């Protein structure tokens, strides 16, 4: 099977899939998950090109999921605590039939210096799931396994791959690389290939540890997850199909920031910058939407940010509406003028790649103010699609807002440029086709060189 034989049709227009394509298992902790719309778009897009089945290690969680996500949930093989007896039975089966292999896999998977009990527990559950899935994958006719995250999901994928006798691949991004789990280097070495979703993280993966992944790291950007914005009736006919452009002259200037209330987002820097803007006399409002709490990795800075807003006297200017459903995101983007992503590098080394919210804001023609952290300069190109500032600098952030407010035509030009960049770099059909080609070509390589 060659890459030319896969279905090239856009989603919704596909022909039946041809025979001979590898059946791919996607292994995740949760699917679908409202904080990962890019994973949802990736999975559903790949189904247009490859036979693909999703296996979710944890129980179903549809909180804040979009209507489309909820509709797709029924096709997922979901486990969770109800699967514990199945996992225990499989552990016993493996102990009786393949005790040496079981000991080897357990030692490889669990004898690590885990950073927390939570991480240890995630990987222990994933180990049990991997034992069960190894046999299940043979029954389901799975040819290769992919874990979009290199932590617990990749632990399950690696164990299952050994038992089923098939290859596995994984992805790594942003804060997966620093601080890294103690088994990351071994996973990168064992994986058939590693997918990166930005060039900065591609370089970081290739240089990680002893460069075990060099030569097998493939770059495929994420895809846009929202429907295209409404066309601006004032736009030119030269390919500019952006939404209504920012209304900076009409005030108050409407700033928007979205994301987990996490240490990498720099929202404390943003609130400090808002205090500076108020002192400078700018008429503005900020919608700071997102969530806190440790559940599902949402971050834990919610209470701190609420207190900071009060201490700075910004309760009238800053609205914190909480988590935003993906269904609401187009309206939210369309109601604002400038998007702000003041990302920082945490003392631990944690950092973002390209936040999906930045991609969507660009696609909706919002000029973006962001920092030079990691992969952000790949999309927030200074004075082209937005303004890039040093991380952790509230004064520079305030000056960037004032710059866009004082030069509305320049801001609109950046917004138009950003929309064109986003629709080219993050085109769903193009990127899903590239990803499908990766699975096909690497699986063919494995069959030729390793399967025998």
pLDDT at 295: 52
**Domains in the chain: ranges and CATH:** 24-223+428-451 (3.40.50.2000), 253-426 (3.40.50.2000)
**Cβ neighbours of residue 313 under 8 Å, at least 6 residues apart?**
275, 278
Under the banding of pLDDT at 50, 70 and 90, the label for residue 399 is very high
Instruction: Name the percent of the chain lying above pLDDT 70.
Output: 90
Is the pLDDT assigned to residue 239 strictly greater than 50? no
Under the banding of pLDDT at 50, 70 and 90, the label for residue 13 is low
Tell me the C-alpha distance between 11 and 44, whole Å.
Answer: 9
Query: Who has greater pLDDT, 13 or 138?
Result: 138
CB 60 within 8 A of CB 79: no
pLDDT at 229: 84
Give the predicted TM-score (pTM) of the model. 0.91
pLDDT at 15: 72
């Amino acid at each position: 099977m060659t890459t030319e034989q896969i279905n090239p049709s856009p989603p919704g227009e596909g022909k039946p899939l041809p025979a001979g394509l590898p059946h791919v298992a996607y292994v995740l902790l949760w699917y679908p998950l409202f904080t990962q719309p890019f994973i949802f778009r990736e999975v559903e897009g790949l189904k247009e090109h490859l036979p693909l089945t999703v296996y979710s290690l944890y129980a179903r969680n549809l909180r804040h999921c979009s209507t489309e996500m909820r509709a797709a949930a029924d096709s997922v093989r979901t486990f969770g605590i109800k699967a514990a007896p199945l996992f225990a039975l499989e552990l016993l089966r493996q102990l009786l039939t393949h005790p040496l292999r079981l000991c080897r896999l357990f030692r490889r998977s669990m004898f690590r210096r885990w950073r927390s009990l939570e991480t240890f527990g995630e990987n222990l559950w994933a180990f049990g799931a991997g034992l069960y899935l190894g046999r299940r994958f043979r029954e389901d006719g799975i040819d290769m396994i992919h874990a979009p995250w290199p932590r617990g999901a990749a632990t399950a994928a690696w164990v299952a791959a050994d038992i089923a006798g098939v290859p596995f691949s994984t992805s790594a991004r942003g804060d997966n690389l620093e601080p890294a789990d103690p088994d990351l280097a071994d996973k990168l070495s064992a994986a058939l290939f590693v997918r990166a979703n930005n060039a900065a993280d591609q370089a970081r993966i290739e240089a990680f540890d002893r460069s075990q992944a060099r030569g097998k790291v493939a770059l495929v950007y994420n895809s846009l997850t929202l429907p295209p914005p409404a066309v601006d009736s004032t736009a030119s006919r030269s390919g500019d199909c952006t939404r209504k452009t920012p209304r900076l002259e009409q005030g108050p200037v409407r700033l928007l920031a979205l994301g987990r209330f996490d240490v990498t987002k720099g929202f404390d820097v943003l609130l400090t910058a808002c205090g500076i803007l108020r002192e400078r006399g700018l008429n503005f409002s900020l919608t700071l939407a997102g969530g806190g709490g440790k559940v599902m990795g949402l971050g834990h800075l919610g209470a701190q940010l609420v207190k900071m807003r009060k201490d700075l006297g910004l309760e009238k200017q800053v609205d914190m509406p909480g988590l935003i459903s993906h269904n609401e995101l187009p309206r939210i983007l369309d109601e604002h003028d400038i998007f702000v992503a003041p990302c920082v590098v945490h003392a631990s080394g944690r950092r973002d790649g390209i936040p999906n919210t930045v991609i969507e804001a660009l696609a909706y023609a919002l000029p973006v103010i962001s920092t030079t952290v990691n992969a952000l300069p790949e999309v927030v190109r200074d004075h082209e699609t937005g303004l890039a500032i040093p991380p952790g600098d509230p004064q520079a952030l305030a000056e960037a807002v004032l710059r866009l407010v004082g030069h509305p035509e320049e801001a609109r030009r950046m917004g138009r440029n950003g929309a064109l960049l986003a629709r080219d770099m993050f085109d769903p059909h193009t990127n899903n086709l590239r990803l499908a080609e990766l699975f096909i070509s690497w699986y063919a390589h494995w069959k030729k060189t390793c399967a025998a």
